[in-house]
Chains A and B, each alone.
Chain A
Amino acid sequence: MHSGFPLFPEAASTMAGQVDALYVFLVAMSAFFSLLIAASVVYCAVRYRRRSADEVGGSFHASMLLEVTWTIIPLGIVLFLFFWGARVFFLQVEPPANALELTATGKQWMWRFQHPEGQREINALHVPTGQPIKIEMIAEDVLHSLYIPAFRTKMDLVPGRYTTLWFEATKPGTYHLFCAEYCGTQHSGMVGWVTVMTPEDYEHWLAGGAQADKAPAAAGADLFASIGCNTCHVEAGGGRAPSLRGVFGKPVQLASGQTIVADASYVRRSILEPPADVVAGYQPIMPTYKGQISEENLFKLIAYVKSLGEAGGGPAAQPQAPAAPAPAAAAAAPAAAPATQGGAR
């Protein structure tokens, strides 16, 4: 792909131009100051070189005007850069509301991705152009960091907490995907490829060769039943635990008096550490599922709870047997989901 002596990585996302613009400005600013210093040093070193062994220098050694000048000018420049850099940063960490939501887990030394329709990939990621993609991520063991240079973006994966990364690809092609946070022996082998496709090709890919699983929300519904969550979390209400219908993305009143927004992190914590945030009006009777549910299955359960949330907060419309699978419609829903946890962590 590259040959010769490239100085820029490929630019294939909406953010790439923004970051490159910062880079060009920073390089120009640095070149100016470096050359200014270098030229001054060379000029003085030559012009005022020592001509006799007992010569001493002049006595010009203080100037408030100069001190103020070379304090104020750099201060102005760095503050300007701070504001510009912060603006680009907030664009990079706040996913648009219409982003397509994928999930990723990192473990020594492998990347796993799952698409909202259920397709799973290892060390490869297929995405369409022109569509913001938001990836909800977690590490299964040690720290990792998802880095796609062509998109100029990167975010750490942390065990025990969700992080998100988003991008919108602009140019079809194949690009590096690296782990950027040192993670042990095969760190430099924890790499893969991002394939950016036109939306049509992407649809084709989804329908075709990809390793298709059940959509996460549907798979989550199955798990919800097989683990037995539904024996207490009765969807119609009236169970020993709250109904999860219409909960996701909404504020929840806790027994402690606090109010907390039921985002992915909240649902995850409620499964792994149930006594942490008990809903007001319920007893802390739920056992912990720590160590019993994999991160990927947690993502599925969250997708299911999320699909229940989108079903609306009204009275349950389907007072059916608890073991019933979730509505298949949930599979296609995420595109319309509000980005409740967007980049806030």
Chain B
Amino acid sequence: MSAAVAARTLRPNYLNAAYGVKSWLLTKDHKRIALLYLGSVTLFFAVGAIFAGLVRIELLTPEGDFVSSDTYNRLFTMHGVVMIFFFLIPVIPAVLGNFLLPLMLGAKDLAFPKINLLSWYVYMVAGSLGVYALIQGGADTGWTFYPPFSTRFSNSPVTLVALAGFIAGFSSILTALNFIVTVHRMRAPGLSWFRLPLFVWSLYATSVIIMLATPILAITLVMLMLERALHLGIFDPTLGGDPVLFQHLFWFYSHPAVYIMILPAMGIISELVAAFSRKRVFGYSFVAFSSMAIAVLGFLVWGHHLFVSSQTAFAGTLFSVLTMLVAIPSAIKVFNWTATLYRGSVSWQTPMLYVFGFLGLFTIGGLTGVFLATMGFDIHVHDTYFVVAHFHYIMVGGTLMGYLGGLHYWWPKITGRLYPEFWGRISAILVFVGFNLTFFPQFILGYMGMPRRYHAYAPEFQVLNVLSTAGATVLGVGYLLPMIYLVWAMRYGKKAGANPWNAVGLEWETSSPPPTFNFDVAPVVDHEAYDYHRNGEGEKKVAA
């Protein structure tokens, strides 16, 4: 027995297959590239989080007394740029998607392993430019780059930051292209579309959005740079341009980008809710099609960012009703996840705690989206902290909770080791509590009328701001803990085995960590996704 165990631990896997810096930097293994991405996005997350921390410290008092107005404006701009372009957009597809997509499909790798590596290098070039821009002082335009401020008035390195965003877009496009081809061409025998794990569906929907929307951002940023450098009159009215045109173009990408960020997290939640209820996801096809519905509808709602931008009332009305419709597929998902728990075998392990947190936070984030789609209400809270709270509930409460849940769930597969469950639960609870304390007061602040991007603010807003900063402190601890214990577990965690959760899914049918080419024997699929009754013995052990 012990000899067998020893033989298994010596079994070559993707981590010990080769050593040395070169074996990582020139790897074509999707799992190693996923880890390269993991390191880089974590670094950018830390940078973005430090900016957020400094913003929260400044907002402890109504006076702008901690940093100067210029510094403050750069802090919130770079917080947004770094978090959106270098963390939230790539994080789930490039880390967990990269690692898991071939495993879930029963494939050896992605369709284009070299393009996969290229996408990481492109990301790093963009990231390095972003860091260089930071050293130059960082931009002060807000992550939205609205002209004519960004093209004629700002003295900050706007062009550099825009260029970084432009290049980062190509990294997304390469990954998306790879994913789409892989899903079409590399599925194991028997793995039909409606047997795919829902995470694959969500990555597919995300990739479609990335392919269609990112080029628009690229074109828009190029026009911005041209106007700034060469004074071509595209957006600046003194040169004959139209500043509102930029807003249309920018949000034509950036609203779908919200779904680029949230859809993969929704996919993770589907995986987790099935694994930790030991039950097929309720309404599988509704959950799958709602991802595609969100991908399509997401392209038709950008104008809700322009309700008070001088867009016609008719256009506003149209965008309002279309935005309302996006709420439906999101609601369908939440109801189906909740229904999955019914008569499940519900575990309370760390990943599931993140699911519970996600369900609460995403529900509030989604419902407040309905608030903002209601035009008569939006006029009052547009560009206030209400909006800030809303999108943090979606992006942090949704995307980040999904990512952290997924990271814990698949950490044993990625590293072959279990994380410490106690610390996992503690940090999941800290993240949930800290998050709500940080962002719930901001809804009230917004309704009270506090505009966003304010360095100094009226004294009556202070109590809520202090609560928010206190929450951010708790949230910070909640993020720091996993960074420590997940790294610790890579070396000292208990050995995981192939399937520590007794979950169903191709990724659990290979060893942990998987060998370089994922499966010793190419898998053949003869069952539905999440088939927990496959062995015919399930019914006897069904939870009461």
Chain A: residues with CB nearer than 8 A to chain B?
Answer: 1-3, 5-9, 18-19, 22-23, 26, 29-30, 33-34, 37-38, 40-41, 44-45, 48-63, 66-67, 70-71, 74-75, 78-79, 81-82, 84-94, 108, 141-143, 145, 147, 149-150, 152-156, 158-161, 163, 176, 178-189, 191, 291, 343-345
Contacts and interface: CB of A to CB of B under 8 A. Distances in A.
Given A26-B374, A30-B368, A57-B543, A184 B324 contact: no
Contacts of A291: 238
Interface string B105-148: 00000000000000000000000000000000000111010101
B283 A180 contact: no
Contacts of A344: 312-313
Contacts of A3: 460
Given A56-B543, A60-B343, A145-B382, 15 more contacts: A22-B374, A44-B344, A48-B342, A49-B346, A50-B543, A55-B278, A58-B344, A61-B284, A62-B284, A67-B283, A85-B373, A87-B376, A141-B148, A159-B237, A160-B237
B149 A143 contact: yes
Contacts of A181: 146, 383
Interface of B: 64, 69-70, 73, 140-142, 144, 146, 148-149, 152-154, 237-238, 242-244, 277-284, 286, 307-310, 312-313, 316-317, 320-321, 324-325, 327-328, 331-332, 334-336, 338-348, 356, 359-360, 363-364, 367-368, 370-371, 373-380, 382-384, 444, 447-449, 451-458, 460, 463, 502, 532-533, 538-539, 541-544
A129 B456 CA distance: 30
Nearest to B76: A182
- The 8 A-B residue pairs whose C-beta atoms are closest, nearest first, are A149-B449, A88-B376, A160-B237, A57-B279, A85-B374, A44-B341, A58-B343, A89-B375
A345 B242 CA distance: 14
B383 A145 contact: yes
B448 A61 contact: no
Nearest to B530: A61
Contact of B460 (A6, A179, A343): A6
Contacts of B325: 75, 78
Contacts of B312: 344-345
Contact of A156 (B281, B309, B321): B309
B451 A147 contact: yes
B382 A48 contact: no
A146 to B, nearest CB: 10
Given A186-B69, A343-B313, A82 B380 contact: no
14 contacts: A48-B543, A51-B543, A53-B502, A54-B541, A57-B343, A62-B282, A67-B336, A71-B331, A78-B370, A89-B379, A147-B449, A149-B448, A182-B144, A187-B69
Given A78-B370, A184-B140, A50 B347 contact: yes
A41 B542 CA distance: 19
B283 A62 contact: yes
B398 to A, nearest CB: 14
B448 A9 contact: yes
B244 A158 contact: yes
A85 B449 contact: no
A183 B149 contact: yes
A185 B74 CA distance: 10
Contacts of B286: 67
Which has the most chain B C-beta neighbours within 10 Å: A60, A92, A176? Answer: A60
A79 B325 CA distance: 8
B428 to A, nearest CB: 14
A70 B376 contact: no
Given A88-B377, A159-B243, A181-B383, A40 B280 contact: no
A188 B59 CA distance: 12
B338 A92 contact: no
Given A19-B380, A57-B279, A89 B448 contact: no
Nearest to A85: B374
Contacts of A41: 338, 341, 356, 359-360
Which has the most chain B C-beta neighbours within 10 Å: A8, A18, A85, A161? Answer: A85
B528 to A, nearest CB: 10
B316 A89 contact: yes
Contacts of A70: 331-332, 335
A108 B345 contact: no
Contacts of A186: 69
Nearest to A152: B380
A57 B313 contact: no
Contacts of B533: 56, 59
A316 B332 CA distance: 68
A93 B378 CA distance: 13
A66 B332 CA distance: 10
A66 B339 contact: yes
Nearest to A157: B310
B154 A155 contact: no
A82 B373 contact: yes
Contact of B532 (A2, A45, A56, A62): A56
B149 A142 contact: yes
Given A85-B373, A89-B316, A74 B331 contact: yes
B376 A45 contact: no
A142 B310 contact: no
Nearest to B541: A55
A55 B543 contact: yes
A37 B368 CA distance: 15
Contacts of B338: 37, 40-41, 44
Contacts of A94: 313
A279 to B, nearest CB: 22
B328 A74 contact: yes
Nearest to A32: B367
Given A57-B532, A161-B237, A185-B70, A19 B376 contact: yes
A61 B146 CA distance: 47
B343 A48 contact: yes
A161 to B, nearest CB: 6
Contacts of A45: 341, 346, 348, 356
Contacts of A33: 363, 367
Nearest to A137: B310
Nearest to A150: B449
Contacts of A163: 310
A150 B140 CA distance: 29
Contacts of B144: 182
B529 to A, nearest CB: 11
Contacts of A343: 313
Contact of B324 (A2, A44, A82): A82
Contacts of B331: 70-71, 74
B374 A82 contact: yes
A22 B310 contact: no
Contact of B383 (A19, A34, A180, A191): A180
A37 B360 contact: yes
